[in-house]
Structure 1
Amino acid sequence: MPGTAGLLAGFMAMLYIALLTESDAGIRGNVSALNSTISCHAALVPTAQCRRALPVAVKVQRRAFEQVRRPDARALRILAAALASAVFFADALTSLHIAISVLYVVVILLVAFTGSRRATHSSAWTCAALTLAALAIAHPHGVPGGAAARSAMSLVAIAVTSFIAIRHQASTAHLIEQIHLLNLTHDAIVVYDMNDRIAFWNQGAEKLYGWPAHRALRQPIHELTRTRFPAAADEVRAALLQAGRWDGELERTRDDGTVVTIASRLALLRDERGKPRAVLATDNDITLRKNLQMELQRKQDEMSAMLEAIPGMIWASTHDGEIEPMNRRWDAFDIAPGDATRKDRSLWRTLVHPHDLPRLENDWRSAVATGAPFEGTARLRRKDGLYRWMHICAEPLRNIDGAIVRWYGVNTDIEERKRAEEALERSEAFLADGQRLSHTGSIAMKLPDGEMLWSHEAYRIFGYAANVVPSMDLILARTHPDDIALVRQSYRQILAEAPFIDIEHRLLMPDRSVKHVHYVAHLSARQSGRFEYVGALMDVTHAKHTEEALTRSMTELAHVTRVTMLGELTASIAHEVSQPIAAIVTCGHAALRWLDRPQPDLAEAREAIDKAIRSAKRASDIVWRIRSMAQKRGPAHVPLDLNALVDESIELVLHELHDHGVELEIEYMSPAPHIIGDRVQLQQVLINLMMNGAQAMAAVTGRAKRLWVATRMADAQYVHVIVKDAGTGIKAEHAGQLFEAFFTTRSEGMGIGLSICRSIVEAHGGRIWAESPPEGGAALQFTLPVYDGRPQ
């Protein structure tokens, strides 16, 4: 029996530890019941034997617990069946005088670990049946008293173990259900002992603080969450111990470092002797509520400060129209906030200018009667007796039934605005008159939506009524068909935010008349960050007509000048024409002589006739050039070889230069540059410059009269033509007037030659100027754009 008692005590210890491993929460909730059960079983054997057997059983169970924690149900059942079979065969086939069948309690425990009450019942009855069957097999001829006692003890152990296991399963299921219910709540429920170590941590606590239960259990809660109490921690603990409860707000830190505000309710748990054992804490996250409260308080403070900071007189009114001032802005008008002695009409009559009072009172009474928003302007008198313009507006406050309960209004000082409006009206009137007199309208365009603003003069220029909405479509509708592409291109530049726009085009009006307009605009940025084009639209129709008339006059003047110049070049022209004519005559006589021979020399005759033909063509070219210069026609811009153009001009003045004793030096660049322009006009410029150079050297004696003509490239886009003489040079006081009309330094000169040259060069997109080189004389030079082959 001593061995049997030790073995039973060991298995009871194994039962206790195994139940602990199955469900920590359940077994902790029922520790006292298990302790009492073990005490009952231990009472069946002597105390000394239990004390010796318990340490051994604990060690065995610890090793088993380290190897197998919670095998699955199938493995448990297989293990239980194998163990039951081994116990049965050992009990039935061996002759050991010990209670081997008591090991069936391990089989029952293994089955109980699966959590199935039905399986536990079945295993208990099966184990009892196996015990009796083994007893009958082992003792077929009669059961001795010792074997019967051992079997009875085993049956008792099986019954007690089954009862405890089933009760434990029921308790565990009930506790697990309660734990699930606690996990369903949104509150964080935490239980910690008097050393602040966490014993229970529900899912609400996991969600609130971020730590899972396995990391939070047995941790000091206040260290884990870095709790900050509203008062000292010792004061909170003392209040909890004294009253058993404590409610308040805490600040705790989550797993991710976020600080949250907690509404915590603490309850102290005491044992049957009244000793504090644990603290039950129910926590709610009120961070959002606290933030909302703080934000609400901040908004209230801001509202109070805003009422005082608003540059207006805030007031309220009852539903029937009695006025009550509400901020300090009324102090300047001798009406303090909360002053209820002056209300309604007496208040308005005290402050409002007599001329504005009837209209204001009538509008206010109408608003009160109808409930419509009130708005008006009036002059109010200050303490110093001065009246200032006020903009008065009010809105009704209604209840859920729609009835007006109060009015709230504000009086805004608009004295400066009134003065600015008056000044703006005067300025707009002056601007409108100025635009009308100068035929200049204003057009502004906002980017990127293309919204436009036109002045009255812009509407008049386009011929639209002032009530239409300006748009690009309206501009294109008035644009001349030949200029639409140009206007569209400028609009694309605007959308691309080009810094400056400058465009001239025509408008085709409904009456088929044509207007010439010039639009200039620049890009500017507003304080709002948006870009806007601000520009001026000028009606330059009259200027265009004047310019065209001037151009016609200049063309006629240039024609007269060319004709006059041809008259001056009569000797040179006659010499140039007489040379090919004389050559024609000579070649004709020679051809006759070759033909009159007894044996005509046809080859020599043919060569003489070819020479005559070439001379005739040369004479024809000279006459054609002279006729071209003498003709009165408009300019014709075509591609020209600059070197050939200079050669043709020199041919017309070459005899004149020889007559003046001028030595001509020519320096051409190679390859010859090409320009685009009017041949006759540019020849006129070259002839004029060369004749001026020859005339400037008329009085030169003692040195050579040299005229140097050169062509070169000024840069990649312009060619450069230089006509330099060896004359007396240009006086400093004459340098700035040289190209002005009717300025001349010669008594017989008219002063229009160089002026016409400047007009021609500038019309071709070039520039002309004069210099006095250090070596003496004068250098007249001009530039022209290079022809790049693209259509002009």
Structure 2
Amino acid sequence: MAWSARPDGPTEFLSKQYLDYTGLAAEQARGWGWTAVVHADDLDGLITIWQTIIASGKAGETEARLRRFDGSYRWFLIRANPLRDESGNIVKWYGVNIDIDERKRAEDKAVEAEGELQRTIDDIPALVSAYYADGSRISINRREREFTRLSAEDVTNGGWRGAIHPDDIELEESKWRACVTTGEPFEHEYRVRAVDGTYRWHIARRVPLHDEAGKVIRWYGMSHDIEGRKQAEAFLAGEKQLLEMIASGSLLRDVLGALCEFIEGAAPDCFCDVHMIDWISSTFEYAVAPSLPSAYSDPIAGMPVSGELLPCGIAALQKIQVVAVDIELDPRWYTSPVRSHVLRHGYRSVWSTPVCSKEGRVLATFCIVQRKPAAPSPHHQDIIAHATQIASIAIERSLIEAALRRTETLLSEAQRLSSTGAFSWRVDTDEIAFSEELYRIFEFDPSAPVTLEQIRERIHADDIPSLTAQMARVRGGQSHLGYEIRLRMSDNRVKYLRTFGQVIRHHDGRMECLTAVQDDTGRRQAEEALGKARSELAHVTRVSSLGALTASIAHEVNQPLSGIITNASTCLRMLAADPPNVDGARETAHRTIRDGNLAADVIARLRALFSKRAPTIEPVDLNEAAREVIALSAGDLQRSRVVLHPQLHEGLPLVAGDRVQLQLVIMNLLRNAADAMSGVEDRPKRLVIRTEHDEDDYVRLSVEDAGAGFGADGSERLFEAFYTTKNEGMGIGLSVSRSIIDSHCGRLWAAANDGPGATFTFSVPEYSKYRSSGVQVGDSPRSVGVR
């Protein structure tokens, strides 16, 4: 629809199409009459723009709705151009109105669709953004606006970068630039800052929108909150690291410290500690609390578990969780010392949870404190359950490993002390495994594997047939019994071994021989020494006509020998049991070794005593020497119905003396005391052995009985040779005992009790007294000027 107007704006001409469309007559439309068909909402704007164009003298255009002859309105694009004369003055305006109603309706629909899309996007439970083809951001949805509080300007001018974590922005932008360049969708994870300043992990996926030609015209991105997943992944990773620490054998304190830090990371504002419990003393052993001040956690060590005033104590004893939401206001803790302790360090809430083993035994308590009053949330309860489970695993493993180490140490020490090793022999492969002690017995290199050929080379030539027969029986599946065998060492020394073992058959049918091997060489040598000692004692008896002395010495020697035989028999029965009683056998082996050593020492030192050689002086623990004698005499005393009351004073200094000779004196005094009460029927047969300090740096030992006493001859005659109050005694025991004590620069005497019985006492000098007097170990004490 064409038209023309004068330079100042009134219309002069309107085309037929214009008049037909509007239904106006030419006279009606000229001038400003055409304004009658302009939509009321568009008229003021149209006139203002037309006046602006006239004033500028430049071409211009605008949009407005014009009424059709039937009363309907349609959108038109109205354009005006000036016509100028040669002088440049405007002489007329020419214009054209182009119907754009269909385009406007399409645009309105697009706007409506865009609005609907925006409303839909706003309702999506994720962060959604729209981008131009070049990657610049257009808009964000309501959820992202609410989450980040980004303004419209932030969205379009790049301010949105401030909402991304600084550590993630570079990676996010590099991936986004690559995505825009390639036109390929991409996905990545990054952290977005929330309104409260915290960052939460999101996973973003951005996809392109293409036109019909395949060109990218827009991008859309959607980010989902994965903070929960990230926390779960971090939690699982932390648990895995803790379990790896446990599996690798890390120290328990280190594991529990890492556990506390792990829980504190998963529960901000919480401070954790683990209280280990020693149930033997019913006290808290120690606390592990890496984030708490030592002044807060250290005092827990040694505190009793019992009582109603400690949250951890109640949790441990009752196996329940104890929650103090506000320990300052909760009346349960008004009288508890823990209340002031907690408040003094600035904490208010205390949650204590027992850490239990699989069997339900309380191992420790897990405690969380906070600086403000609080109750555990479901999240807190979940992580507390994880913490107590991991702590239980760590503590149980530590206890098991400690017990295993103790068992291994005890077994190793038992093997060493009893000279008993062990080996296994896989019959089908001839694979041999030696224990450490057995390597020592065979004198093999412990770093090299052992073969059957090496063992055969070490066996005494005369015993090879016996070994071959035993191996044949094992290969035939027969039970493996004990036997003796000899070793010929590289320097021609001979070792005597005793073996005990059995054949076991595994579930896969393979046979394995498990054998204990004891080095019996010492016992053989002791028997030989004992035989020689008996011969010498018999010779002394014949020469001196003191047959009774021989009987007394034989009694001293037979005492440990009887113990050896009894213990060895017991050990065999324990090892032959099914299953073998290894712990009992080990303890019996200890007693066998002790008795064997005592027998050998008795023989050697009795010979020294009666050959007038000076005793060998060494530091001696008189209490320990007395305990060994008590152990040897226990059987005889029980059979005599004597009740022994040891009163051995602890902390006594070591004395200077010959251990075996002093034990002979103690043995003689105990036996005399028991004999003195043999006829007592009207009162308890009470025997007291006592050690204590004596004056002038001496230590005394007393043996008190409730027997018949001295008799009329007094106490001094008791120590004369061949004087006795017994019907069958020879009267040499106390005389020999006094000579032994005299040789130790000591004194032996007797005194009557206030009641029935007598007390025999000897006093010997402390070892330090000899050292200060210049006497060396092994010197005779006769050279020392003491009483």
Q: Structure 1 length normalisation: TM-score?
A: 0.29
Q: Structure 2 length normalisation: TM-score?
A: 0.29
Higher-Rg member (1/2): 1
